[in-house]
Amino acid sequence: MQYYSFNQYLRARFGCKVYKVAVDGGFTCPNRDGTCGVRGCIFCSSGGSGDFAGDRRMRITDQIEAGKALVEKKNKNGKYIAYFQAFTNTYAPVSVLREKFMEAAGHRDVVALSVATRPDCLAPDVVDLLQGIDRIKPVFVELGLQTIHEKTAAYIRRGYTLDVYDSAVSRLQRAGLNTVVHLILGLPGESRQDMLQSVDHVVQSGVQGVKFQLLHVLRGTDLEKEYLAGRVPVMTMEEYLSVLYDALRRLPPGMVVHRVTGDGPKKDLLAPLWSADKKRVLNAIKKYGE
């Protein structure tokens, strides 16, 4: 499969290998604190999709240093992206956000920030803050859309409607912020056409990047209960490769693909088990369609 990978983009922009270091800013989520829900999205782990992030009890700088230590042998004198991954990373007062983001931006080896958040947590003052930091070091704003279909969104308990996403993207684009959208392929009840319609909508919204995630079931989530009850089929590798291939072909030249698959911690992964062999999956993606 041919696509413009995030790795290619980073090498072109920064001239070296750049690794993401996942940090935990200590935030929660409106889908967990009662604002729009208390149980989170149906697929979300207790770590708020930040299972590989640092220890929130540590300072941001210390988390970055700990993350660097894990890959420094592979990234000698390399650079890093501080990835605010766990839960919703714009869900706090602007003063708190500014302190944490500026600490990350001030790290000598950090060349950019990546901020994972929700479209309903991007008030004008938050966008202004991100825009200001982007003038210091590039900021990637990652939005968890997952699907454009309201029936599916209700099933996964996303907690906001599609027009909220459209409005947030419009504000981010006016601010000149690099926006990346997460999509899950294989959500329950969705056909291939449904998934590709989500891809088309993301493309038409004018964002700069996309992350494709295979639906996987983690232990301890509400999705696990649905899967064990037989209500959630998971894709075979061949099925995933086929729909991913069609999705990638719909992207315009220059749109950056930040991820083509995904998995959780192996100890928590219930299904599909083939996704745990990441090297095999990435090789299969590379060869598919040749």
As a whole number of angstroms, the distance between CA 46 and CA 51 comes to: 8
CATH no. for residue 49?
3.20.20.70
| pLDDT digits 0-9 by tens, 35-47 | 998 888 999 876 5
Alpha-carbon distance values, 287 to 127, 252, 290 (Å): 40, 21, 6
As a whole number of angstroms, the distance between CA 277 and CA 143 comes to: 26
- Residue 14 clears pLDDT 90, i.e. is over it: yes
pTM above 0.85, yes or no: yes
- Residue 193 clears pLDDT 90, i.e. is over it: yes
pLDDT value, residue 89:
97
pLDDT value, residue 53:
64
pLDDT value, residue 238:
97
- Residue 175 clears pLDDT 90, i.e. is over it: yes
In sequence order, what are the residues at sequence separation of 6 or more whose Cβ sits closer than 8 angstroms to the Cβ of residue 11? 17, 18
Residue written as token pair 């988390």: 63
As a whole number of angstroms, the distance between CA 44 and CA 143 comes to: 15
Mean pLDDT check: name the lowest of 65-69, 107-111, 248-252, 256-260: 65-69
Q: Identify the domain containing residue 14 by its residue range.
A: 4-287
Q: For strand 79-84 and strand 110-117, is the pairing parallel, antiparallel, or unpaired?
A: parallel
Query: Strand, coil or helix: what is 69?
Result: helix
pLDDT value, residue 256:
98
Q: For strand 217-218 and strand 269-271, is the pairing parallel, antiparallel, or unpaired?
A: antiparallel
Domain count along the chain: 1
Is the separation of the CB atoms in 24 and 55 below 8 Å? yes
Query: How confident is the prediction for the chain on average, in pLDDT?
Result: 93
Mean pLDDT of 114-124: 97
Find, among 176, 195, 218, the residue nearest to 49 by Cα: 218
| pLDDT digits 0-9 by tens, 197-232 | 999 999 999 999 999 999 999 999 999 999 999 999
Peptide bond just before 272 cis, omega within 30 deg: yes
Q: For strand 79-84 and strand 178-185, is the pairing parallel, antiparallel, or unpaired?
A: unpaired
pLDDT value, residue 50:
47
Find, among 38, 92, 26, 81, the residue nearest to 222 by Cα: 38
In sequence order, what are the residues at sequence separation of 6 or more whose Cβ sits closer than 8 angstroms to the Cβ of residue 234? 186, 215, 216, 217, 227, 271, 272
Both structure tokens of 265: 């911690």
pLDDT value, residue 182:
97
pLDDT value, residue 71:
84
Q: For strand 79-84 and strand 18-23, is the pairing parallel, antiparallel, or unpaired?
A: parallel
**How much of the chain, in percent, has pLDDT values that exceed 90?**
85
| pLDDT digits 0-9 by tens, 275-286 | 999 999 999 999
| pLDDT digits 0-9 by tens, 45-60 | 765 554 566 788 899 9
